[in-house]
Structure 1
Amino acid sequence: MKVNIIHFSGTGNSEYIAKYIGEKLKDNGDKVKIESIDKNPKIDEDVELLIIGGPIYASNVPEKLIRWVLRNVENKNANCIVYSTSAGLINAHGVDSLAKKLNKKGYNILAKETYVMPRNFYFGKYPKNTKKEVEDMINNTNKQLDILVDKIKKESLSLENMENKGVLGKDLLAETFSIMAKFIGKNLSADENCIKCGLCVKNCPQNNIRFEKDKTIKFDNKCMACMKCIHSCPKNAINYKNKKYEQYNINEYIE
């Protein structure tokens, strides 16, 4: 079976899901392609299963992912699985938004998967997960993923609830948050620990970070609040509201 797995991932959680599923299906003999929307990938003409997912920002997947699906996914008669990652499931409605858009493009939605993964946005009232919480979340997600992969292999997936109510409102939330995120981004700054390596400039999915002429780091007004810059900086030199936060790196918790 030819499988395309497309994702957007700020700090690695959604990428982890994509790679976990992809490697399991490769072991099964399936032909799998895993790509980030940052690379603007092309979906194979003869794809048999499309899997698309991303994180939850304000009850929906990022507007960046929604717009990519609308603009880049062509109408096709193929099976599809959508997924989201978030610190909790109460407002994990992004799968409904993705499912509705892909169903309109002709895809047969087999599953809408939601995964609880460690929080990477822990400012103000949002606490950072403990090491034990992170380990438990990843273990539980792995079990959930193993069940999904087994059903894919057995071709036994069936969607019990295809209703995607309130998608317009959820998409409006995504658009509203994308505007708010620009103001969040204006609170980011690099401190004296910055070594001018340019990693944040290179990896920012919004091209929101640049070098000034004197090589100081400048944050513009296109931030989407993915927090990749904070968590991937080799010197933890990027602060939020002039405060330093402990970094999250999923690779520290997986084999």
Structure 2
Amino acid sequence: MIRLIALFATLCLLQMPAPLTAQESLEEIVRVDVLDGGRMADGKVQAALKLTLAPGWKTYWRAPGDAGIPPELDWSGSSNISAVALVWPTPEVFHLDGLRSIGYKHQLVLPVILTPKEPGQPIRLSGRIDFGVCSDVCIPASLSFDSALEPGAKRNPAIAAAMAARPLSANEAGAGKARCALKPTANGMEVTAEIDLPPTGGTEVAVIETGNPKLWASEPVVTRSGNRLRATSELVHVEGKPYALDRSALRLTVLGSSRAVDIRGCESG
């Protein structure tokens, strides 16, 4: 599977037309805007990055699947910010030539919750987002953003809608605690997560994230028996090294046709 991912990425780059490397051509495919959402009750500030895509193009979620490019964000040009938290809206699942990717079409409004160093003072949100966009070809993209946020800005409906579109927490979904069983494999480790979770609708897709960028997780095999869901995935170190797995850092996202659920941490079991 790792070889398939590498091959797909290479093919995408080889198919990329030369004119698309120009910034003005990229801007015809995707643009980034900063949305200002004002101060929250706890003193934090709400903003969002809005990616608007040309018809037929899509971009990717934080865990993009077998055929996607994960976004990376650089906030180094910002001022009066001590912490940044992202709130990812529920993504869609795409299938192409037997490979699964996870992301967004048309647009992505990505809420950003900012903790200011000096509460009540203006914030500048400035930096760069490196990400991928795909249609008939896949293109690695990099766009800069720079915006002064006003402390007195009003609530932004687009940000509120994106916040409401996030996956439910385990408590909100009525889920029990996740339990994970581990066993060694030839290449790494197999993890089987079990959780009591009412059906989320249709053919359920699960995503396992380890919290360690050096660990690759295969597409989980999902089975269900009543209200109990099981997801099994193989975890492989990208450099072939041995590793220790922190169960508390595991994150299981279940994507169904009617709702999505975000489950943090996994007990031994």
TM-score (ref. length: structure 1): 0.32
Quick check: which has more Rg, 1 or 2?
Answer: 2
Would you tell me which structure has more strand in proportion to its own residues? 2
TM-score (ref. length: structure 2): 0.31
Would you tell me which structure has more helix in proportion to its own residues? 1
